[in-house]
Amino acid sequence: MEHIKTEEAFRERIADGTMTVAVFKTTWCKDCHFIEPFMPDLERDYEGRIRFIQIDRDELPDLSLELGIMGIPSFIAYREGQELVRFVSKLRKTRDEIEQFLNRALEVAAALPKS
């Protein structure tokens, strides 16, 4: 998963036609560490359909505030710069819940016309 360090890099990654899921985390978040063991498997499972990027909320606080990221980890799916769907809450996320979110993001993307 590519670690994004600037707002410019974030905006570049979400701008193209590839569905991109931004994963907002921090180094001190226990729930963020909980998802680390299975995220590489999810990246492999969705390879070719979803690109994953990681943003440390503490490194880009203005972007996180702009996007309303309070609870972490949080997930937002984008295509062509537009937000498709988000999974944002203060609760711990399970692998099953994240997979449901990713499948929903793919469904939403399939239902929308590409520019």
Q: At 75, which helix (H) or strand (E)?
A: strand 74-79
Active site residue 32: yes
Query: Considering 19, 21, 22, 32, which one is annotated as catalytic?
Result: 32
Query: Considering 22, 29, 53, 102, which one is annotated as catalytic?
Result: 29
CA pair distance 20, 48, nearest whole angstrom = 11
Residue 66: Cβ-neighbour burial (10 angstroms; 0-12, 13-18, 19+): exposed
CA pair distance 24, 31, nearest whole angstrom = 11
Positions annotated as catalytic residues are 29, 32
